[in-house]
């Protein structure tokens, strides 16, 4: 269960209202790489880990909970940046002081509400408070979440998610010089870096963790690089020489894919190149890892009635 502490994890402050920056900051409230996405991703992944991998469960729930706390910080900051809009809207009879900006050039530019027009739902739906959308009003969707029931993939999704979230904070910092807001953004950005390191460390404790999941790749296709575009081809460690492979292995650069496909009857007759692993070796590895991993997960199951929590004193 969750509990709420009234104090924010970080002392969020703003120097003055700034509806435009509030709009931009929605990216981290209801945007694709924002705090809700992060919180819900780790929270959802945690269910699969609960029984077989209690250490990862603890990690995922700690970070998920911190991300919910960050979501609150972001929402609080947006609310303060919009300060005044809601109160203004409540003065419903006032002879529309802002009417002039609709279709007129004489708008007082410093008008809070004028600035907020870049996010019109602030004015006409949310009443000057945060909505669960990105900076353009696109509602948050669970399509942003990656949770696939396997920590060797999930943790990589999390490392990538933290990378993107960090980058978004970095971008956001370019658009405000409010020292208080920058301080908050700096804290939040830094926490994404810390989480990245945590997820990377946790991934390292899973061995083997490559390839993700259980099965090895077919040695006929693991080391092939298909040069799918013409001219100005560039060679580098991603398609040349040993690259990131082990000793004795190397990339197999297929310069003319169409010819190759024709010659190998649609790759069916291709032969392993660049790798020393045999099909037999790989089949054996597949079998071993299958047994080991399914064993691990099944060991978390219990016969008969299952109970999630223990309430013994």
Report the site for a second copy in 6-65 (rule: CB under 8 A): 6-21, 23-24, 27, 30-33, 36, 40, 43-44, 47-48, 50, 54-55, 58-59, 61-65
Q: Would you tell me how many other CB atoms lie within 10 Å of the CB of residue 220?
A: 18
- Shortest separation between residue 280's beta carbon and a second copy, angstroms: 13
Strand partners, 225: 253
User: What residues contact 289, with CB distance under 8 A and at least 6 apart?
Assistant: 208, 214, 215
Residues touching a second copy: how many (CB under 8 A)?
A: 209
Query: In Å, how far from its chain's centre is CA 53?
Result: 22
- Shortest separation between residue 302's beta carbon and a second copy, angstroms: 8
Interface residue with a second copy among 207, 247, 268, 271 (CB under 8 A) is 268
Please give the residues from 170 up to 199 whose contact with a second copy meets the rule CB under 8 A: 170-177, 180, 183, 186-187, 189-191, 193-194, 196-199
Rounded Cα–Cα distance for residues 41 and 240 (Å): 36
CA 47 → CA 34, 53, 135, 290, 304, distances in Å?
Answer: 21, 10, 31, 21, 19
253 binds a second copy per the rule CB under 8 A:
no
Interface residue with a second copy among 127, 206, 250, 277 (CB under 8 A) is 127
Which one, of 172, 131, 150, lies nearest residue 290 by Cα?
150
Which one, 38 or 64, has the nearer CB to a second copy? Answer: 64
Q: Are 159 and 57 in contact (CB under 8 A)?
A: no
Question: Can you say whether the dihedral through the CA atoms of 108, 111, 116, 122 is positive or negative?
Answer: negative
- Shortest separation between residue 248's beta carbon and a second copy, angstroms: 15
Interface residue with a second copy among 247, 248, 280, 313 (CB under 8 A) is 313
- Shortest separation between residue 116's beta carbon and a second copy, angstroms: 10
Please give the residues from 276 up to 305 whose contact with a second copy meets the rule CB under 8 A: 283, 286-287, 289-291, 293-294, 296-298, 300-301, 304-305
């Amino acid at each position: 269960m969750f509990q709420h502490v009234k104090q924010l994890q970080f002392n969020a402050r703003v120097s003055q209202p700034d509806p435009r920056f509030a709009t931009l900051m929605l990216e981290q409230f209801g945007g694709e790489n924002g705090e809700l996405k992060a919180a819900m991703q780790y929270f959802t992944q945690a269910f699969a880990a609960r029984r077989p991998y209690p250490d990862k469960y603890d990690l995922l729930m700690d970070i998920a909970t911190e991300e919910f706390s960050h979501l609150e910080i972001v929402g609080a900051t947006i609310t303060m940046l919009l300060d005044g809009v809601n109160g203004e809207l409540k003065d419903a009879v006032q002879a529309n002081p802002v009417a002039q900006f609709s279709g007129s050039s004489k708008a007082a530019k410093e008008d809070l509400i004028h600035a907020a027009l870049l996010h019109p739902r602030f004015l006409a739906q949310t009443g000057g408070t945060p909505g669960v959308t990105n900076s353009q009003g696109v509602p948050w969707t669970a399509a942003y979440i990656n949770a696939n029931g396997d920590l060797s993939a999930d943790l990589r999704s999390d490392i990538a998610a933290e990378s993107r979230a960090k980058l978004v904070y970095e971008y956001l910092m370019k658009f405000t010089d409010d020292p208080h807001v920058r301080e908050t953004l700096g804290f939040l950005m830094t926490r994404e870096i810390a989480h990245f390191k945590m997820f990377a460390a946790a991934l390292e404790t899973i061995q083997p963790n490559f390839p993700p999941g259980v099965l090895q790749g077919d040695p006929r296709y693991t080391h092939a690089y298909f040069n799918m575009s013409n001219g100005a081809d560039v060679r580098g460690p991603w398609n040349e020489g040993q690259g990131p492979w082990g000793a004795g292995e190397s990339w197999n650069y297929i310069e003319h894919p169409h010819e190759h496909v024709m010659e190998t009857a649609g790759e069916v007759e291709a032969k392993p190149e660049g790798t020393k692993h045999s099909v037999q070796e790989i089949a054996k590895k597949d079998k071993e890892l299958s047994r080991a991993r399914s064993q691990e997960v099944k060991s978390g199951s219990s016969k008969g009635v299952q109970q999630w929590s223990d309430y013994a004193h």
